[in-house]
């Protein structure tokens, strides 16, 4: 697999972190570009730039030797790269406008292309673990489903409903099926595929039960994201069923990993085991936090507290998703163990912890109607710098492997 693709994933990760630092500098200095433009560029590049290209790279790295259409795989990757850079620049330049909408729409269709390509590659792998295939195929389905959200935004805006709750509901629809659907399911599926190569098999019945409970709960689970809208008792019941089901599915999967933990210790290095342990711990924390949204009153309070929403999104994408990506980079040999990598990861994780502690503490103080943290803006800026420096050092560690 071309190593340049890995460099571009780190480029997107670095630009995402750099734009994050840029936003944290706003309280201290005014810039010509508006804050919202940077925010839109930052969020889009994080999800469909860094995360999407990175998981596609993991897939290619895992199956490169058996992929027949290598030219097509490269075309998809390079198209994702070009469109993502164009989209990032367009959002910085104009925010939501004609160019950024065109670029992000094209990206959706390239995602379809990538999904169909991966599905066709997996279709011929008869020796692959069935549980891993279940997770990956379901992830590709939820990727398609998630795109309903962006397309709905266009319809909602065209009908003059941009300021209505339908607009925010479409955004949360997209985020739910991206975070909890596509990215979570795909990374879990690839994880099962990767460990299968080391002759580590999670208990099949337990994993199959975990998958179906989680996957079927995803659909009613969407209502957990929109309980701040009064949609009636049925929506509350669906949210309750979905959240409990997703949590049970994750707990069963974590229990399955616990059953074979000794095999992980035997087959993988200490650093990979630590990364994997952190990943599973973050998955547990993310899933358990979502249970708190079962109460409509609490859900409304949470979604009215900006620092809590940002903290949760960062915990999911910066924490669980990004660390799981880095863990799989190590597991498939994309990145090798080195002092540079360890230093970079420690700085990154310190930045993540500091960011989460500040955001959730600020949210708690706001709920209690107490004064804000005196070092809120400075602390978030320091956390974002730690994250940026950690990512750059991890990227340098990959450079030094060559």
Q: How far apart are CA 233 and CA 236, in angstroms?
A: 5
Domains of the chain by residue range: 1-126
Write the pLDDT tens digit of every residue in 89-101: 999 988 888 888 8
Distances (CA, A) of 7 to 123, 127, 384, 388, 402: 29, 31, 21, 15, 12
- Higher-pLDDT residue of 188 and 376 is 188
End-to-end CA distance of the chain: 14
pLDDT at 321 over 90: yes
Continuous H helices in 315-375: 322-331, 339-367
Owner of token pair 């549980």: 131
Q: Confidence band (pLDDT; 50, 70, 90) for 18?
A: very high
In this structure, of 227-231, 295-299, 397-401, the range with the lowest mean pLDDT score is 295-299
Q: Confidence band (pLDDT; 50, 70, 90) for 309?
A: confident
Q: How far apart are CA 92 and CA 41, in angstroms?
A: 6
pLDDT at 224 over 80: yes
DSSP state for residue 33 in the 8-state scheme:
S
Q: What is the pLDDT of residue 352?
A: 96
Write the pLDDT tens digit of every residue in 29-48: 877 788 889 999 999 999 99
Q: What is the pLDDT of residue 297?
A: 66
Structure tokens that stand for 168 in this block: 């925010």
Owner of token pair 């659907």: 181
pLDDT at 55 over 90: yes
Q: Confidence band (pLDDT; 50, 70, 90) for 296?
A: low
Write the pLDDT tens digit of every residue in 117-175: 999 998 877 677 888 999 999 999 999 999 999 999 878 877 777 778 888 899 899 99
Q: What is the pLDDT of residue 159?
A: 78
Q: Confidence band (pLDDT; 50, 70, 90) for 367?
A: confident
In percent, the amount of the chain with pLDDT more than 90 equals: 64
Q: How far apart are CA 251 and CA 89, in angstroms?
A: 41
Q: What is the mean pLDDT of the chain?
A: 90
Burial class (CB in 10 A: 0-12, 13-18, 19+), 234: exposed
pLDDT at 19 over 90: yes
Write the pLDDT tens digit of every residue in 163-203: 788 888 998 999 999 999 999 999 999 999 999 989 999 99
Q: What is the pLDDT of residue 290?
A: 85
Q: Domain 1-126: which topology?
A: 1.20.120
pLDDT at 301 over 80: no
Continuous H helices in 124-164: 130-146, 148-158
Q: Confidence band (pLDDT; 50, 70, 90) for 402?
A: low
Check if the beta carbon of residue 114 is closer than 8 Å to that of residue 144.
no
Write the pLDDT tens digit of every residue in 341-363: 999 999 999 999 999 999 989 88
Q: What is the pLDDT of residue 401?
A: 78
């Amino acid at each position: 697999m071309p190593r340049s693709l890995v460099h571009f994933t780190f480029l997107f990760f670095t630009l995402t972190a750099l734009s994050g630092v840029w936003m944290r500098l706003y309280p201290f200095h005014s810039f010509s570009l508006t804050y919202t433009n940077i925010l839109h560029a930052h969020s889009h590049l994080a999800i469909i730039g860094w995360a999407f290209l990175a998981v596609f790279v993991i897939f290619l790295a895992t199956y490169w030797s058996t992929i027949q259409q290598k030219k097509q795989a490269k075309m998809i990757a390079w198209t994702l790269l070009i469109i993502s850079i164009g989209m990032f620049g367009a959002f910085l330049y104009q925010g939501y406008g004609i160019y950024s909408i065109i670029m992000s729409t094209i990206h959706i269709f390239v995602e379809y292309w990538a999904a169909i390509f991966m599905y066709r590659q997996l279709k011929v792998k008869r020796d692959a673990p069935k549980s891993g295939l279940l997770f990956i195929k379901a992830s590709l389905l939820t990727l398609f489903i998630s795109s309903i959200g962006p397309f709905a935004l266009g319809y909602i805006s065209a009908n003059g409903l941009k300021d209505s709750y339908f607009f925010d509901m479409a955004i949360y629809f997209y985020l739910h099926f991206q975070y909890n659907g596509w990215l979570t399911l795909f990374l879990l599926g690839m994880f099962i595929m990767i460990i299968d190569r080391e002759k580590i098999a999670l208990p099949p019945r337990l994993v199959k039960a975990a998958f179906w409970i989680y996957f079927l709960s995803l659909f009613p689970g969407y209502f957990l994201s929109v309980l701040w809208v009064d949609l009636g008792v049925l929506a509350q019941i669906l949210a309750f069923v979905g959240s409990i089901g997703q949590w049970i599915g994750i707990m069963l999967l974590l229990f399955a990993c616990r059953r074979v933990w000794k095999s992980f210790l035997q087959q993988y290095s200490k650093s990979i085991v630590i990364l994997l342990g952190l990943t599973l711990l973050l998955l547990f924390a993310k899933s358990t936090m979502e249970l708190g949204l079962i109460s409509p009153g609490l859900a409304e309070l949470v979604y009215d507290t900006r620092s809590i929403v940002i903290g949760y999104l960062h915990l999911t994408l910066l924490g669980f998703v990004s660390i799981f990506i880095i863990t799989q980079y190590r597991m498939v040999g994309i990145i090798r163990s080195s002092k540079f990598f360890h230093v970079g990861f420690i700085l990154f994780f310190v930045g993540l912890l500091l960011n989460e502690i500040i955001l959730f503490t600020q949210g708690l103080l706001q709920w209690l109607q107490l004064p804000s943290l005196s070092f809120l803006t400075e602390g978030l800026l320091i956390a974002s710098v730690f994250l940026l420096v950690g990512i750059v050092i991890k990227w340098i560690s990959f450079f030094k492997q060559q």
